[in-house]
A and B are shown apart, each in its own frame.
Chain A
Amino acid sequence: MNESKKNSLNGNYEIVGNTVPRQFRHWTRMKTAVMGNYDTGPGLKNLAILWVLHKVGKPIFFARVWFNNQHGLKQRIKGLLGR
């Protein structure tokens, strides 16, 4: 049974069929049962950071890159902070 066509890498740069939530579900299973050898496993902190980057990274990166280019604004902020 074939589904409709989709990209192999989704708009959040996640591999379709192997997203961070799936890895998180697997991490919870790893914590409750013997699952085999995954070296050290993914780590909750890493999963959380990756979830943020994939899911809500768009506005964060826009703000970050935009602010990085606002040299005048940065100077004014530095001035206000007295540095």
Chain B
Amino acid sequence: MSLKTFYRISSLIKHGNKLLSGQLADAELISFDMFDTLLVRRTHDPDLVKVPVARFISHLAKQQGVAIDWKQVQEKRDDLEAALREHTGQMFEDKEAHYPTLISQTLAAIVGEASSEKLLTEVTAFEMQMENTMLVPRKEMVDWIEQLSKQGKRMWVISDMYLPSDHLETLLSHAGLLPYFEKVISSADSFLAKASGKAYDDIISNHQINPQKWLHVGDNPISDGFRAHEMGIHSLVLQDTEEHRRKAIAARYYYYGLNRGFWKGRAVQQLMAPIEAENIPRSAMYREGYNFFGPLLCSFVQKVAEKSRQQGITKVFFLSREGWMFKQLWEKITPTIFPGEKLPEIEYLYVSRLALASATCAHQGLTPENARIVFLPPGNKNFEDVARIFGLNQSKFEPHLNRHKLTTTTTLSPLHTGFDPEHLWRFREMLKDDLFQQEIKSQSRESNEALLKYLEDVGFFDHKDVALVDIGWLGTIQRFFNDAIAHRADRPVCHGLLFGATRGITFPSNRYSHIEGIMYDREKFNFASSAILYARDLFEEACRAPYPTLNGYRLNADGSYKLEFRQMSDHIGQSEQEQDKYYADLQRGVLDAADRYGPAVALISNHCEELTPWTNYLLVSKLAFPKRREIKTIRYMHHLDDFQGSSTPRLLRRPKLLHNPWEVRGWRFWLGTLFAGRLFKKHLRTTVNTWPPQERL
């Protein structure tokens, strides 16, 4: 028999193999400790897992009509656990606890005996789910176990834990390790623990194991080392120095986060980080998705969920195509961040500015505000662009244009050659012409009817308060959306929750429709988050669904509606497909990050605003002071703007010497990154000088 301590897992395995091929070639049993030997926790403190469970119990109690704070739940649980251990200590040498008994007693103390049995299953399932998200199998240990299993070795798991063996089996099964083990023994079942050596004694006498032919592997020098050694068992103790270091680093971030808000988000990211077999080489795009976009987008979705609860929103509509990503993030993070809470229904809504524009004029006609939106993108020049955006048949407007001495090609944008203010004045006069507006309304009616049928189909009008979640930036989609449904008496209040609200044009807020920027809003002076403006298209590309945009809503002959998507066979469609392929790895990274964001936030953070200092740092550090290789990696190749026309503006300025490096290439890109500080000061001046936002329409 021997007792040996190892500081690296590889040396332990090497020694174990040497023993098993020599002195212990006829070993009857190889037993493993479970926690910190087979499985490691992402967090430094196992008790942190109890925090979201306490929150869950608090919500369950609320549903039962009992108002109790999660901290009070935690205190009650801790008190009962101490009492339970004290009680066990009177009968056994080890002061062990039994999880089902503990939780039953906790629930009974909070909601009463009658409801506690029913809730026990729910609470246990949630705690097991949280434990599963925090436990990771040790890669080298798994490889060794696989090897031993192939050699036909008999392996058990022995753990000193308050979870009974069937609960431990659930955890091992989730980690994919259960098939390798013949038996799982927990001190919670017998109250005989390794700490006193009674567990070994019990196994030797009940299972007739010869201790001389037993190898035990664990991490505790007393329970897994000395006690086993005393019983004559060969024991190998793992004191992995790197694991100690990993946990010490995680602990530092956690404790710094308690006093300094800056570190809170960093602590969440440390907990989200892939470890052991999860941490495999990935492409730069994946890493950017996992380490940068993932935390930012998840934080946005968490804030959306929080706002929805506060504002009494009953359904959240994620607008295409960025909503495709947001909806997936919602589904991944909310079950662990808001356990047991009733959250709004969610739905993915197919919309686009182009599709809504054609439906928006059916009742109010073409308003001067909407007509002016057409000429915001510099590529739009004349009435042809107006007709393209609002889905109008321009040949039918020729009589109206002639009446106002205009043609379809008359330049109406001041950015283009041939512009005359007189043309614009005539165009505005035409907008007041009833005959012109009647033609507009008649051409838009079909699209509007189809849109309304689609909205009825997805239950849009069944709610009083709905959220429209979109990436941003001007709120044009919601403006058009509001115009298209304005005539309906049953229209809900639309709360527009945008990733970033740049408010380049004033949004017509009213009691039925308003927008709010969650990560950045120009109306709220948050300078750090204004770094989004450096590369806003980047967020669109990172979130965009990998399928074509919606071109319009059409009515079928039988009165039903259909959604008409853009054809992808042309040059722009091909570019977009190429772009989608390029960003696929980044999107994979974001979705993988979301799997770990929920549990990490549930353990560390109490409120979504706590992560804001860190997300601000991420935005400024990555967008305003990026590394050249980061820009080269994540900047898009093609960006489709369905509003943008094909005309080249006359007055579009060439980039200045020092220009935003995200938007230029070649030597200007180099200069932009070299003088990032000067560009940032310029950005600061612009932001301060243009705040508060002025009326633009």
Binding site for B on A (CB under 8 A): 1-3, 5-9, 13, 15-18, 22-23, 25-26, 29, 33-43, 46, 49-50, 53-54, 57-58, 61-62, 64-66, 68-69
Contacts and interface: CB of A to CB of B under 8 A. Distances in A.
Contacts of A3: 283-284, 629, 633
Contacts of B221: 69
Contacts of A69: 5, 221, 239
Contacts of A29: 625, 677
Given A17-B291, A34-B684, A40-B261, A9 B633 contact: no
Interface in B1-26: 5, 7
A37 B528 contact: yes
Given A2-B633, A26-B620, A39-B613, A17 B287 contact: yes
Interface in B223-249: 239, 241-242, 244-246, 248-249
Nearest to B288: A17
B5 A18 contact: no
A41 B252 CA distance: 15
Interface stretch (B269-277, B343-351, B666-674): B269-277
A37, A41, A66: residue with the most chain B Cβ atoms closer than 10 Å: A37
A8 B620 contact: no
A49 B242 CA distance: 17
Contacts of B632: 1
A8 B245 contact: no
B429 interface: no
Contacts of A68: 239
Interface string B249-278: 100110010011111000001100111000
8 contacts: A1-B633, A9-B273, A18-B292, A22-B621, A38-B261, A54-B249, A65-B244, A68-B239
Nearest to B612: A37
Interface string B620-661: 111001000110110000000000000000000000000000
The secondary-structure label for the interface of chain B is helix
List of 5 A-B pairs having minimum Cβ-Cβ separation, nearest first: A36-B528, A39-B261, A5-B281, A39-B613, A61-B245
A25 B625 CA distance: 10
B681 interface: yes
B262 A38 contact: yes
B528 A35 contact: yes
Contacts of A5: 281-283
Interface string B27-68: 000000000000000000000000000000000000000000
Contacts of B287: 6, 8, 16-17
Nearest to A54: B249
Nearest to A1: B632
Nearest to A41: B262
Contact of B621 (A1, A26, A40, A41): A26
Given A7-B280, A42-B263, A65-B241, 6 more contacts: A3-B284, A7-B281, A17-B292, A26-B625, A35-B528, A42-B260
B527 interface: yes
A50 B252 contact: yes
B513 interface: no
A65 B665 CA distance: 51
A36 B291 CA distance: 21
Contacts of A7: 274, 279-282
B284 A2 contact: yes
Nearest to B264: A39
Interface string B125-165: 00000000000000000000000000000000000000000
